[in-house]
Structure 1
Amino acid sequence: MSDELVRSLGARVRALRRARGLTLTTLAAEAGLSHPFLSKLERGLAAPSMASLGQIAQALGTSQVELLAGTEGEREHPATELVRADEGPRGPYGFGEARLLAGRGRRFQPMEYRGANRDPGDFYTHAEDEFLLCTAGSALVDLGDHGRHRLGPGDSLYLSGGVPHRWCTARPDRPYRLMIVKEQRTP
């Protein structure tokens, strides 16, 4: 990671932590990382491994790809933004891979998610609203006390902020694809 990317990533983590009302100590505990390491990361003096970045992202209710994409720097956005099929930042998101479909600073963060995981993993909970549209395959979406749903192509699900959620394939032999649109809260 370049020095500029490390500084930008640290600033992004700090901004998200503050926007969520977390202290450095609280974030460190929730991410299972040391307070001194997170302090260095936020000041741009330490680069995280992808595993550490994943732990930080989960504690902040976001993803590695969103944290890394958020480091592209602020800029004025044109009224329209075209992202071709082979463009957009890609990276880990839960047990799959996501491709971001709009730049940072937009009101919504749309992404394409591809997965084949049989294990839904831990629940994610964040303050932002989220919309899911299954575009291929079949996914089981577990919402804890809010129910469990099977989504097939064309099925959609809207989640208000604060609803715990996780998902996995509904057919172990087939991958699935979701279009996810998250509300963005600018830190």
Structure 2
Amino acid sequence: MGDHKEQPLRVGAAVRRRRRALELTLSVVAERSGLSVPFLSQVENERARPSRHSLEKVAAALGTTAATLLAAADPAGGVDVVRADEGEHTPARVRSLVRGHHQLHALEFIGDHDAGREFQHRNDELMYVVEGGIEVEAEGRAQRLGRGDTLYLTGGIRHRWRATVPETRVVVVAVGEHLDPGGA
């Protein structure tokens, strides 16, 4: 029942993300596709579902394919459960806790990772230590965090972190990079 693959896809969010990434207005996409601005707005806001033919027109106007837009679509349901045994950890033992393209991204890190790698994300981020401990360097200061501790980082802050205890588990939740922190 919680399987996101059984739910219809919301392609409107994928269309909007692509249009905004290209910095195009609805009017430009309407002109290029031969579809109306009101219809495109309804598609982006999930109030209308485009036919396959209309989706192909929109995709061409956005310089992509209908298949690519469908692959980037969000599941229609607002609730999606990712079970502990689902998904694969990468060799660095990182697992995504959220499927699809959403406003929030969540990753689980187990063990250590490239401690020398510096991160700087466009948007805000929260780190939560589930088990073990980490050391985070941010703004010229080192913070030690243990089980149950959280660290909030405002977007744009350069930081790096490392596990201080073997088999440490850290959950990182961040606002999606595709979102503009300043507005619409």
TM range (shorter): 0.5 to 0.7
Q: 2:111 aligns with which of 110, 115, 119?
A: 115
- Partner of residue 153, structure 1: 147
Q: CA deviation at 1:144?
A: 3.8
Q: Which residue in the other structure is 1:124 paired with?
A: 119
3-state SS of 2:158 partner:
coil
TM-aligned CA deviation for residue 89 of structure 1? 4.9
2:73 is matched with which residue? Answer: 74
Cα deviations across residues 25-49 of structure 1 (Å, max 9, x unaligned)?
Answer: xxxxxxxxxxxxxxxxxx9xxxxxx
Q: String of CA shifts for 1:120-177, please: whole Å, max 9, x gaps.
A: 21311121211000011111111142x2111110000010111111111224xx2311
Partner AA of 1:77 in structure 2: A
Q: Structure 2 matches for 1:67-106, cutoff 5 A? A: 72-91=71-90, 96-106=92-102
Q: Could you say if the C-alpha distance between residues 120 and 133 of structure 1 is closer, same or farther in structure 2, counting changes exceeding 3 Å?
A: same
Once the two structures are superposed, the pairs formed by residues 132-171 of structure 1 within 5 Å of their partners are 132-145=127-140, 147-171=141-165
Rounded to whole Å, the distance in 1 between the matches of 2:93 and 2:123 is: 20
C-alpha distance in 2 between matches for 1:132 and 1:155: 8
Q: What's the C-alpha RMSD, in Å, of the aligned pairs?
A: 2.7
Unaligned runs of 5+ in 1: 1-14, 20-42, 44-70
Query: Do 1:88 and 1:102's aligned partners in 2 also have CA atoms closer than 8 Å?
Result: no
Partner Cα separation in structure 2 for residue 77 and residue 143 of structure 1: 38
Percent identity reads 29
The 3-state SS of whatever aligns with 1:157 is: strand
TM-score (norm 2): 0.54
Indicate if the aligned counterparts of 1:98 and 1:111 stay in contact, CA closer than 8 A.
yes
- Residues 155 and 80 (structure 1 numbering): CA distance in 2 closer, same or farther, change over 3 Å? same
Question: How many matched pairs?
Answer: 115
Alignment pair present for 1:175 and 2:150: no
**Contact conserved, 1:72 with 1:104, CA < 8 A, in 2?**
no
Structure 2: gaps spanning 5 or more residues: 1-17, 23-62, 64-69, 180-184
Query: In 1, distance between residues paired with 2:155 and 2:88?
Result: 24
Give the TM-score normalised by structure 1.
Answer: 0.53
Tell me if structure 1 keeps the 8 A contact 2:72–2:101.
Answer: no
Which of structure 1's runs of 4+ aligned residues deviate more than 3 A? none
Which of structures 1 and 2 has the bigger CA Rg?
Answer: 2
